[in-house]
Structure 1
Amino acid sequence: MNASDRAVAAFTALGHGTFHGFELSIPLFVPLWIAEFGVSATVVGAVTGASYALIGLLAPLSGAAADRWGSRRLVLLSIGGMGAAFAGLYLASTLAGVTLALLAWGAAASLYHPAGLSLISRGADRRGTVLAVHGAGGNVGMVVGPLAVILALTAAEWRAVAAALAVPAAVAVLVGLRVRIDRDGEGDRDGDGGGGRGDDADGESEAERSAAAAAETPRGALLALVADSRRLFAGGFLLVFAIQMVYGVYYRGAFTFLPDVLAGVPVFEPLTLGGRDLEASRLAYTWLLLVGVAGQYAGGLASDRLSPERTLLAAFAGLAVVSVAFLPLSNAGVAPLLAVCALLGFFAYAVAPVAQTVVARSVDEASHGLSFGFVYLGTFGVGALGALLAGAALDAGGSEALFAGLTGVAMLAAALAGALAVRTARSS
C-alpha cells in the first residue's frame, strides 16, 4: 500500500474497531439484563434488535451525507456518539433506560459504515487490501472490546463497565483527528474521485447551476436522494441488497445470543480469576471473534485475487455447513467446540470484505456512499430481525431451533450469491 492507502486503512480500521467493540459487547450484557429486569429472551432480543435496526434504517441518510459532504467528519461523529451513548447506560435503572441508551448508540453507529466504506472505495488504490485491513481492525475491536468487558464484569457492576467503554471511544476520536486523509470524496458527485463536480463553473449551464442550488435545500436533497436511489436499484443493485439482508439476519441471529448459547454447553467449567468465577464459555466467544480477524483479512485478499462473487458463494456455503455441525461438535468436547467456533468466526467475517468489494464493483463510484448506506440498511436494519427471531427460536425450541433456522438462512444466502455469480459471469 502507498502512504495514502495506509492513512485510509489506519483511520477506517480505528473507526471499525470502535464500532464492533461496542456492537459485540452488547450480547455480553444481554444475560445480565434478562436476569436483572426479569424479562424473556424475546423481549431483550426486541430491545437490542431495535438498536441494531437503527444502524440500518439511518444508513442511507449517512451514505448520502458522505457522498455530499465527505466521510471523515461522519466517522468521528459516529465514534464520539457511540461512546456518549454507552456512558448513558450508567444512568439506566430500568429496561426503558437501557432501551433509550441503546437506541442512541444505534443512531450514532449508523453513521460509520457508509462513511467509512465510501472513503475506502473512493480513496484507496488497493481497495481489497485496504478493506482487508479495515475488516481486521474491526475484528481486533471485536476481540478487545468483549474481552475487556468479560474481565471487567468480574470486578465491577455492569453499568460501570458500560460507562467505562466511553473512555477508549474518546481516545479514538483524538487519535482520528490527527490522521491525515487526502482523499475524502467530499462533494464528489460526478464519480471522478477528485472531490469536485468535474466541470468548472464557467462550463455549467444556467439549468445545471439552478439544479445544483436546488439540491442544497432540504427538499431538494430529499428529492435527489430518491432519484439517486431509483437509479441505484434500476442498475441491478437489488440482488446485492437482497444478499446483504439475508446475511444480516444470519449475523444478528447468530451473534446476539451466542454467549448465552455457549454458556449452556456442558463441556465448560467456570474458571477462577481474582477470587471470582469467570465463565469459560465467554472466552470461547472471544476466541471465535479472534479467528474472525483472519476471516476478514482472508476475505479481503481473496476479493483482490479471485472472483468476489464466487468467493461470496463459497463463504455462505461454509456457513451453512458450520451451522449444521455447530451443536453436535460443541457437545463433543472442548477441542471440537473450539474448532467449530473458529470455523463460524472465520466464515461469518470473511463475508463482509468480499460483499463490500462486490458492492463497489456493482455501482458507479459517485454513488458508493449511498450504495453502502443501503447495504447497511439491509445488513443491520432488516438484519435486526435476526435478533428477534433468534430470541423467539430460543424460547420456543432452544439451541436446536436456533441453529436449524440459521442453517436455512445461510442456504438462502448461498443461493442468492450463486445467482449473482451466474449473472456476473454472463455479463462479462
Structure 2
Amino acid sequence: MSLNSNDRSIAGFTMAGHALVHWFETAIPIFLVVWLAEFDVTVTLIGLIVALGYAPFGIGALPGGILADRYGPKRLILLCLLGMSLAFTVLAAASVLESIYAIAVGLLLWGIAASIYHPAGLALISTGVEERGTVFAWHGIAGNFGIALGPFVAATLLIFLEWPLVAAMLAVPGFLAVVYGLSADFDSTAAVADDVDAGPDEALSLGDLVTNSRALFASAFAIVFVIVTFEGLYYRGMLTYLPEIMHGLPAVEGLEILPALEQYDIDPGFYIYVGLLVVGMAGQYAGGKLTDRIPAARGLAVFFVILAVLALAFIPVVNLGLGALIVLSGVLGFFLFAIQPFYQNAVAVYTPADSRGLSYGYTYLGEFGFGAASIAIAGFVLEEFALSTFFVVIASFAFVGAGLSVALALGLDRLLDRKSTDAGVDPEA
C-alpha cells in the first residue's frame, strides 16, 4: 500500500532528522585525533570532554519525551536540528578561542539537543502515520545512512580542509533541514485522532509525570522497557568493540587497501564495519515491513534468538578467512537493525497515544542510557578474559531479551491487565 500525503510528509521530515542526528554523532569521533594534536591535551581529558556530548544523548531522552508530549513533536524536532547545528558552529569557533573548554561546551550543547530527537521523532510517527511499519523502516534506513555517511564525509574533508571549517560545513545540512521542516505540513495525530484527549499544549505537571510514569510501568510497557534495555546492551557492546576486534585479526591485517589512503592510517577493518552499517539499511526496511505482518512480541523473540546465534558464530569465524568474516558481519548488520522497528512498534502497541513521547523517552533512556553499560561490561571482559567470553556475554543479552519477548508473546502482559486498563493501555500485541 502506498503512503498517503500525510504519511509521506511525516516520513520525509523524520527521515531528515534521524539521518542528521547520526550524521553529527558519528562525525564527532573523527575530530578526536585532530583535537588531541590541536590542544595538546591527554587522551583521558579529551575522552571526558567527548563524554559530555554522548552522556546527555541518552539521559536527555526522558525529558525530551516529556517535552514532546507537552509542546508537540514537530517543535521539538525543529529545536533539535537547530540546536545540533548551532553546537557544531560553537565547535568551529573553538579554534578561534583556542580553548578546549569551548569544545566541551559545543559537545554538551550537541548532546542536549540530540537527545530530543528519538522520543519526539518516534512519537510523531506513532501518532501521525497510518502505515507505521513502512515509515519506521524508511526512518531507520535514514538513520543508518547518517551513521555511515557522517564519518566518511568528515574524514574526507579533513584531508583537504582545517577542522573548524569542516565542523562548520557539517552544520550546514542541519540548518537546511530546519528550513525544510518549517515548511513541512502534516497532521501529527492523524493515526490516533480519536484516541487522544489531551492536546500538545496541555501542561504536564510533576504530579502528572509521576502518575503517567507509574501507569506506564504498571502496564506491559515495563516488560517492553526491559526488552529494549537488553537490546541496547547487545547493540552498544557489539558495535563499540567490533572495530577494535577486527583491527587485531590476521585476516583483516593482511587486507591491502589503496596505497594512496595508507598514509592516513585508515584501518581496513573500518570498511567492513561501515559495510555492516550499510547492510543495516536493508535490515531496517525489512524489519519495518514485517512489523505490519508479525506481532511485535513474536518478532522480537525471533530476532533476539538470531542475534544470539550470530554473536556466538563469531567465536569460530574470527579464526577463519576474510570472506567468512565479511559474510557474518553483513548478516549481523542486517539483523541488528532489523530488530529495531519491532521494539519501536512494540512501544506504540503497548502504550497510550497521549503518553507516546514519554514512552519513547523512557525507551531511549533504556536503549542509549542503560544500554551503554555494556561498554564498561564488555570492555572489562575483553581485557580480562578470552575473546570468546566477550561474544558469550553479548549473546547472553540477546537470550535474555528473547526470553522476555517469548513471555510477552505468551501473555505475560495479561497479568498487568487491570493496571493497564487504568493507564489506558491497549495490551493487544
TM (normalized to structure 2)?
0.83
Mind listing any 5+ residue stretches in structure 2 that lack a counterpart? Answer: 415-426
- Give the aligned partner of residue 228 of structure 2: 244
Letter in structure 1 aligned against 2:288: G
Mapped to 2, the partners of 1:153 and 1:322 lie a distance apart of 36
Inter-CA distance 103–378: structure 2 relative to 1 (3 Å threshold): same
Question: What's the offset of the Cα at 1:287?
Answer: 0.6
* Residue among 3, 7, 10 paired with 1:8: 10
Alignment match, 1:174:
179
Once the 2 structures are TM-superposed, how far is the Cα of residue 151 of structure 1 from its aligned partner?
2.9
- Scaled by the length of structure 1, the TM-score of the pair is 0.83
Q: Note the 1:294-333 alignment, pairs <5 A.
A: 294-333=282-321
Cα-Cα RMSD: 3.2
Distance 2:27 2:85 in 1: 13
Match of 1:271 in 2: 258
Quick check: 311-320 or 158-167, which moved more? 158-167
Deviations 1:107-128 (A, max 9, x none): 1111101111111111111111
Q: Does 1:149 align with 2:137?
A: no
How far apart are residue 297 of structure 1 and its match?
0.8
Match of 1:387 in 2: 375
Identity of aligned residues (%): 40
Which one of 259, 270, 285 corresponds to residue 282 of structure 1? Answer: 270
Query: In 2, distance between residues paired with 1:50 and 1:70?
Result: 27
Alignment partners' CA distance in 2, 1:401 and 1:54: 31
Classify 1:29/1:329 alpha carbon distance in 2 versus 1 (closer, same or farther; 3 Å): farther
Which of 66, 69, 72 in structure 2 is aligned with 1:70?
Answer: 72
Cα distance per residue 1:223-280 (max 9 Å; x no partner): 2111111111112211111111121222222223433333333323343336844332
CA distance in 1, matches of 2:347, 2:114: 20
CA gap 1:126/1:237 in 2 versus in 1, 3 angstroms: same
Give the total of aligned pairs. 405
Asked whether the 8 Å contact 1:50–1:384 carries over to 2, the reply is no
Which residue of structure 1 aligns with residue 244 of structure 2?
260
Matches within 5 A, 1:192-203: 192=193, 197=198
Report the equivalent of 1:205: none
| Structure 1 residue 18 displacement after superposition | 0.9
User: Within 1, Cα distance between the matches of 2:65 and 2:76?
Assistant: 10
- Say if 1:114 and 1:372, in contact at 8 Å, map to a contact too: yes
Who is 2:391 aligned against?
Answer: 403
Q: Distance in 2 between matches of 1:369 and 1:119?
A: 8
1:340 corresponds to 2:318: no
Deviates more, 1:94-103 or 1:105-114: 94-103
1:134 to 134, 139, 149: 139
CA contact (8 A) 1:296 1:349 kept: yes
Moved more, 241-250 or 271-280: 271-280
Contact 2:220-2:413 at 8 Å conserved across structures: no
What amino acid is aligned across from residue 123 of structure 1 in structure 2? G
Contact 2:195 2:353 in 1 (8 A): no
* Conservation of the 8 A alpha-carbon contact between 2:73 and 2:123: yes
Deviations 1:179-203 (A, max 9, x none): 222x1249x9xx64587649xxxxx
8 Å contact kept, 1:48–1:387: no
Question: What code does the residue aligned with 2:233 have?
Answer: V
Structure 1: gaps (5+ residues): 199-211
The Cα shift of 1:378 comes to 0.8
CA distance in 2, matches of 1:38, 1:393: 25
In the alignment, the residues of structure 2 paired with residue 338 and residue 160 of structure 1 have an alpha-carbon distance, to the nearest angstrom, of 35
Contact 1:67–1:368 at 8 Å: present in 2 too? yes
* Distance change >3 Å, CA 96–CA 383, structure 1 → 2: farther
Could you tell me which of 192, 203, 206 is aligned with 1:222? 206
Judged with a 3 Å threshold, the aligned counterparts in structure 2 of structure 1 residues 102 and 416 are, in CA distance, closer, same or farther, namely farther
